[in-house]
Structure 1
Amino acid sequence: MISFILIQDSFLLLLYTFTSLLAIVGNGLVFRISFLRKHSTGLKLSTTSIFLLNLALADALCGLTIPFQFIFCSTYFLKNITSSSYLCISNKSLQILAYNASTITMCVIAYDRYRIIQNPLRQYSGRHTRQAILFTWIISGIYAGSCLISMKVHTYFISNQKLISCQILFPMKNKFISSDNMRKIRVFCLVVLFYIIPLLIISILCLLTMRTIARRSIIGVQQFATFKRSRTRSMRLLIIIVIVFALSHLPLHLLHLQDFFIFSSKHRLQFNKCNDTTIYLFFYWLGISNCCHNPIIYSWFNKQFRRIVLNCFRTIIFCGRK
């Protein structure tokens, strides 16, 4: 008889797989659309387009690590392949790098939108754009590098009755800092630096952007009607981006804080073990699913983006025939 845990794990693996495919295809379309637009207009990519491409790159990379973790972090691979632990933890660190780069890029995009609305005629130099992207990946890489030591990873295909579990790779053996303390520091930095602060930055910039849009005056009835529709779409887009980012990551971060900072001493034995409960694995999926949200959101609110996406699908389905 098939166990209930096996059904739950199978469903979670399907969610992870679907998220990976959607992230790779969706963000791949963002690249295709951006370069098609550049080719058709002959103009250089705007700073907003470059930042969106950086966001798509980070999200696609995050989606790409999901199927590789099924291989590198499988029980068979970890037990039978030399240096398998290094591949598993490197893939996990790469996923964290992509997630953090995506988060910081969203802050940069929020600032770029506010800058364009506030000063539409002011040009943003290419050097500043490159510096912002470089800063994004350096900060993300510093945190991801710390995850190469004493890292909790999910392991897959444990047995016929359980498909997903977890273990700690390369635990700390230093007498000055334990594995638990190392992971506490990382969790605190993750929640503060890559959730609370970015959420505040994005929220404040979106509010400032919406206030600027709402106060802008347009002369002419037709121009006002067009501007009003565009303003409504822009406001909805900004609000949904903030809500999706906040809600997709909040449950997992709350669970992290509970596991690492709220457990009392009588739960010390459970505290020292990694969490592989179904609720944790579902919240983990909810967090990484953010890598496929952005193409969906932008295609829903941008008619031009949506039209090009449909044309791309028609080209793929009909093999380029008109």
Structure 2
Amino acid sequence: MQSNDLQVTPTISHTTLSTQRHDSAATSLVGYSTTTGAQEKIVSFVIPADRLLPEPHPKYLTDIFFVLFVVIIFFSVVGNSLVIAVSVKSRKLKTVTDIYILSLAISDLLIATLNMPFQLYFTVVNEWMTGGKTGEALCKFTNYIQGCTVISSIFTLLAIAIDRYVVICRASISQQRHRQKTAIIAVISVWIVSTLIVIPHLLYQKLQIRLKISTIDSLLFFDGIRYICVEEFPSYPVINAQRLYSLIQYIGCYMIPVVIMAFTYGRIGHRLWIHQPIGDILANPRNHGLIIKQKRRVIRMLMLLFLSFTLLWFPFFTFALYSEYVAIDKSYRVKLTALKLVGYSNCCVNPIIYTFLNKNFKQDLSKLFCRETNAPSNQRRPYDTGNQTGNTEKVTSLGKEWHRPCLRCEKCKKTLASGSHAEHEGKPYCHKPCYAAMFGPGGYGHGGTESHKY
């Protein structure tokens, strides 16, 4: 016997829906289907909002976010790759600062290549790229990389600040001979601690199935299932584990390091710009001005690195913690994405700071793209040197041919003129102050290696 009751469509991906209520807690949806034009049966059900796919960004915001992501990723990858190349190839990690800057550049490059592209995809497509074990592994790994690299960056900046504070303000306990070894140990320790702190991301980051709802002719209908990457901590009756972890991470991995760095750079600035102990001046009266100038230049760069990281990541860290304690509204994802982009921009700002505030780094960067050659000019093609550097002028010095920008003092890196510079062990130096300070302890041209012109 046939029943007059309406047969409800069993496949939810084709069930037509209308929205009755939508808030942060739940969405009440009414589904209906008809077997004839005259009969209709209503089926009501409630779907929690946390089981629905998040609403996509407006089209214009998606386009803006896409452009910003691409620009930040491009300049972060190119800039930090050049920093790593200069640090390893040209500078050969000659100073303690080079070691720390290399660590920062690696952090920025990792987050630009292993985290930002996945965040870009989720922002534009509004779902995780794949499901299954592969999707969950990527979900855990990319968020783990973000946490690890950001924390390693702030701890590296903290190590730099402490190192400079000890050298400048506590010179009596500073051991110059072992500083590079100490810096390497500090960097390794920073990375180990960072990887341990963010282990919860590996444990509790997971894929979550969400229902996608689409709209056609003002009617809503299920459009299948999708995946998103979320963080789900275990629930306990007494404490909220996710809130506690976020609070500890915010205080221990951001606020405390920032306070310590602010104190150390404040003391360093007072020492270099306001109060210079008379003992420092008497210890090296001839070169004191040059030494102070060099220290100030390095400290300005390091202070700007600290301020850049602190100011660009502060909005994201604070908003993420704030969101743990308040109800999430519809604008949450837009705000979170925008603030995350502000933090990501720090990855492409750092190479700019190195280039414009570190004269030696800028010169080593240009040196990376030019080279000296021993080949006689009559064996080379016309303008061969210029074609490599964009500068057709070449000079001869020390028995070699140089691109003019490449003939520089090994110490201060200023450009030298052929025939009017000093030499030591086959390397060019300016006469004053570098050659005199480094190789003439008894006075320029006396008591040490003699100066020669080439």
TM-score, length of structure 1 as denominator length: 0.76
Quick one: distance in 1 between partners of 2:267 and 2:206? 39
Is the contact made by 1:218 and 1:224 (CA closer than 8 Å) also made in structure 2?
yes
Is the alpha carbon distance of 1:169 and 1:177 closer, same or farther for their aligned partners in structure 2, counting shifts above 3 Å? farther
**Are positions 1:247 and 2:311 aligned together?**
yes
**Match in the other structure for 2:99:** 50
Is the contact made by 1:150 and 1:182 (CA closer than 8 Å) also made in structure 2?
no
1:200 pairs with one of 259, 262, 274: 259
Quick one: distance in 1 between partners of 2:213 and 2:290? 59
Is the alpha carbon distance of 1:126 and 1:238 closer, same or farther for their aligned partners in structure 2, counting shifts above 3 Å? closer
Deviation at 1:134, TM superposition (A): 2.3
**Match in the other structure for 2:188:** 134
2:364 pairs with one of 308, 316, 321: 308
Q: Deviations over 1:14-53 (max 9, x none)?
A: 21222222222212112221233346xxxx6332221221
Deviation at 1:222, TM superposition (A): 8.8
**Match in the other structure for 1:89:** 140
**Are positions 1:29 and 2:82 aligned together?**
yes
Could you tell me which runs of 5 or more consecutive residues in structure 1 were left unpaired when the two chains were aligned: none
Give SS of 2:59's match.
Answer: helix
Is the contact made by 1:184 and 1:260 (CA closer than 8 Å) also made in structure 2?
yes
The structure where strand makes up a greater share of residues is 2
Quick one: distance in 2 between partners of 1:177 and 1:141? 28
**Match in the other structure for 1:171:** 232
**Higher relative contact order at CA 8 Å, sep ≥6: structure 1 or structure 2?**
1
Larger Rg: 2
Counting only pairs closer than 5 Å after superposition, residues 180-199 of structure 1 correspond to structure 2 as: 181-199=240-258
Give SS of 1:169's match.
Answer: strand
Kindly report the root-mean-square deviation, in angstroms, between the aligned alpha carbons of the 2 structures: 3.9
Quick one: distance in 2 between partners of 1:60 and 1:46? 21
Could you tell me which runs of 5 or more consecutive residues in structure 2 were left unpaired when the two chains were aligned: 1-55, 216-225, 372-385, 391-402, 404-454
Is the contact made by 1:72 and 1:88 (CA closer than 8 Å) also made in structure 2?
no
Deviation at 1:127, TM superposition (A): 4.7
Deviation at 1:126, TM superposition (A): 5.2
TM-score, length of structure 2 as denominator length: 0.56
Quick one: distance in 2 between partners of 1:251 and 1:70? 19
**Are positions 1:98 and 2:173 aligned together?**
no
Is the contact made by 1:48 and 1:112 (CA closer than 8 Å) also made in structure 2?
no
The structure where helix makes up a greater share of residues is 1
Deviation at 1:313, TM superposition (A): 6.2
Query: Which amino acid counterpart does residue 15 of structure 1 have in structure 2?
Result: L
Quick one: distance in 1 between partners of 2:287 and 2:180? 32
Quick one: distance in 2 between partners of 1:290 and 1:152? 27
Is the alpha carbon distance of 1:117 and 1:12 closer, same or farther for their aligned partners in structure 2, counting shifts above 3 Å? same
Is the alpha carbon distance of 1:71 and 1:254 closer, same or farther for their aligned partners in structure 2, counting shifts above 3 Å? closer
**Match in the other structure for 2:111:** 62
Deviation at 1:105, TM superposition (A): 0.5
2:201 pairs with one of 147, 150, 155: 147
Is the contact made by 1:89 and 1:169 (CA closer than 8 Å) also made in structure 2?
no
Q: Deviations over 1:138-164 (max 9, x none)?
A: 2211222111244489xxxx9999xxx
- How many residue pairs match? The answer is 298
Is the alpha carbon distance of 1:82 and 1:57 closer, same or farther for their aligned partners in structure 2, counting shifts above 3 Å? same
**Match in the other structure for 1:111:** 162
Is the contact made by 2:205 and 2:232 (CA closer than 8 Å) also made in structure 1?
yes
Quick one: distance in 1 between partners of 2:97 and 2:202? 33
**Identity %, equivalent residues:** 21
Is the contact made by 1:22 and 1:292 (CA closer than 8 Å) also made in structure 2?
yes
Quick one: distance in 1 between partners of 2:138 and 2:61? 27
Quick one: distance in 2 between partners of 1:170 and 1:256? 13
Query: Which amino acid counterpart does residue 22 of structure 1 have in structure 2?
Result: F
Deviation at 1:230, TM superposition (A): 4.1
Q: Deviations over 1:164-192 (max 9, x none)?
A: x99453634555588xx232123212211
Quick one: distance in 2 between partners of 1:283 and 1:152? 23
Quick one: distance in 2 between partners of 1:166 and 1:6? 21
Deviation at 1:225, TM superposition (A): 5.9
**Are positions 1:77 and 2:129 aligned together?**
yes
Is the alpha carbon distance of 1:226 and 1:135 closer, same or farther for their aligned partners in structure 2, counting shifts above 3 Å? closer
Is the alpha carbon distance of 1:233 and 1:173 closer, same or farther for their aligned partners in structure 2, counting shifts above 3 Å? closer
Is the alpha carbon distance of 1:182 and 1:22 closer, same or farther for their aligned partners in structure 2, counting shifts above 3 Å? farther
Is the contact made by 2:128 and 2:229 (CA closer than 8 Å) also made in structure 1?
no
Is the alpha carbon distance of 1:34 and 1:63 closer, same or farther for their aligned partners in structure 2, counting shifts above 3 Å? same
Is the alpha carbon distance of 1:227 and 1:93 closer, same or farther for their aligned partners in structure 2, counting shifts above 3 Å? same
